């Protein structure tokens, strides 16, 4: 029964983050998967089940098997996956290729798109981004350890609403930020 309450709390945290883009949530870390942050395992326990599919950016066999074992989720190609997990330490080219291959849905079924779960290294250089869109009163500013290429690729994937990808960013500290496809994100330059 504790697992149910635990995953429900995590799900509510994620819903709040998606409803208020730029708002950081904090996830518990009761589950572990070698190669992933404990909070990423929490997200997997909350969102993945036998009805959806996933893949890791680097097609990491051990992580795929572990996530499948705890969730019952199907393992599919990057082009077919409902969720794409990008573990910390993934090379930039693999990260960008995974996002590039992510499905964006179609006009009949825009919900058949991918959600990208990205683990961030907090020690990496950060950018300050400006967020606008539904759920944001005027403008929200956040700092994330992501590159300009990722920012540009996310913008490109989300240019034809309602098509696009949703992103969940997780830091080693457990902080989580969720950005739905409806959120515009641009770098703030000084």
Sheet of 184-187: strand order equals 140-144, 127-132, 184-187
- In order of their start, the domains of the chain are 2-177 (3.40.50.11310)
Would you say 188 and 33 are in contact if contact means Cβ atoms under 8 Å apart? no
What local confidence, expressed as pLDDT, does residue 35 receive?
A: 92
What local confidence, expressed as pLDDT, does residue 57 receive?
A: 93
What local confidence, expressed as pLDDT, does residue 74 receive?
A: 97
Q: Provide φ and ψ at 113, rounded to 5°.
A: -115, 180
pTM of the complete model: 0.94
Show the tokens assigned to 129.
């981004």
Show the tokens assigned to 54.
């996933």
- Weakly modelled stretches of the chain, pLDDT under 70: 1, 3, 123, 190
Q: Could you give the residue ranges of the DSSP H alpha helices within 72-185?
A: 92-101, 148-157
What local confidence, expressed as pLDDT, does residue 1 receive?
A: 47
> What's the CA dihedral at 74, 80, 85, 89 to 10 degrees?
120
What local confidence, expressed as pLDDT, does residue 190 receive?
A: 65
Q: Is 152 left (phi over 0), alpha (psi -120 to 50) or beta?
A: alpha
Q: Which residues contact 75 (CB under 8 A, 6 or more apart)?
A: 53, 54, 55, 64, 68
Query: How would you classify the pairing of strands 74-75 and 53-56?
Result: parallel
Q: Which residues contact 34 (CB under 8 A, 6 or more apart)?
A: 62, 63, 66
What local confidence, expressed as pLDDT, does residue 189 receive?
A: 80
């Amino acid at each position: 029964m504790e697992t149910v309450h635990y995953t429900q709390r995590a799900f509510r945290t994620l819903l709040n983050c998606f409803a208020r883009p730029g708002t950081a949530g904090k996830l518990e870390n009761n589950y572990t998967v070698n190669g992933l942050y404990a909070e990423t395992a929490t997200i997997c326990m909350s969102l993945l089940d036998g009805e959806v599919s996933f893949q890791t950016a680097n097609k990491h066999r051990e992580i795929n098997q572990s996530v499948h074992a705890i969730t019952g989720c199907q393992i599919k190609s990057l082009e077919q996956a409902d969720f794409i997990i990008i573990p910390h330490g993934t090379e930039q080219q693999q990260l960008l290729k995974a996002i590039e291959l992510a499905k964006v849905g179609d006009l009949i079924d825009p919900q058949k798109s991918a959600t990208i779960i990205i683990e961030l290294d907090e020690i990496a250089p950060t950018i300050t981004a400006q967020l606008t869109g539904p759920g944001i009163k005027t403008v929200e500013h956040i700092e994330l350890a992501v590159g300009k290429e990722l920012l540009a690729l996310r913008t490109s994937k989300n240019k034809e609403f309602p098509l696009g990808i949703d992103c969940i960013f997780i830091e080693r500290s457990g902080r989580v930020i969720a950005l739905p496809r409806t959120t515009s994100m641009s770098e703030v330059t000084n």
